[in-house]
Amino acid sequence: MADSLDSLEIEEPDDAYLLAAEREATLPPVRRALIVLVSDHRYESESDDTGSLVGELAVEAGFTVDGIVRVKSKKSDIRKAIETAVVGGVDLVLTIGATGVGARDRAPEATRAVIDQLVPGVAQAIRSSGQACGAIDASTSRGICGVSGSTVVVNLASSRLAVRDGMATVAPLVNHLVSDLQKYSVQ
């Protein structure tokens, strides 16, 4: 058998192939996110600005943003948007807004109806960080975090400060959760 192997001509891979293989091995995994803007406001420019901000911050955190969806602050509309994202296979759903104590603030209830397990430490970190930076709506938010299937769902308050601080806080936490979900998913 050794004689038959000696007679084979083995080609060495070229440098371009090796460089491409190294690059592929070091590329971070593609992670997908959907942003759900929850509001009853008619001010589209405010929503557009918030959506753009969250989208940019999600990309900085390593996610490809599949889309930004606007829904009314109705539990059924919020739930439907989250469920659609989960079925679509996104890694992260960020809901923005409707986390306060008002009668129309239904994002936590809609999220709770969809998730399989709560991850309370993420929501606690968002509130703590919000308090530290002065984002009152983040520190008093009823927002939750959980997992539905293999999708992480996070509720953030809607002020620019709450969004900026919330994204800085959740990025490493959510990336850790997504890695765990991908590592332990049934293949």
Place of tokens 């989960």: 86
Mean pLDDT along residues 80-103:
97
Element (H, E) at 93: strand 92-96
Note the pLDDT tens digit of each residue in 117-149. Answer: 999 999 999 999 999 999 999 999 999 999 999
Confidence of residue 43 (pLDDT cuts 50, 70, 90): very low
Mean pLDDT along residues 166-171:
97
As given in the structure block, the two tokens for residue 103 are 């009668």
Mean pLDDT along residues 79-96:
98
- Per-residue pLDDT at 47: 45
| Contact (CB, 8 A) for 67 and 34 | yes
Q: What percent of the chain has pLDDT over 70?
A: 80
Res 1 pLDDT > 60: no
Rg of the chain, C-alpha, whole Å: 21
- Per-residue pLDDT at 186: 55
Nearest to 154 by CA among 137, 136, 171, 140: 171
Res 185 pLDDT > 80: no
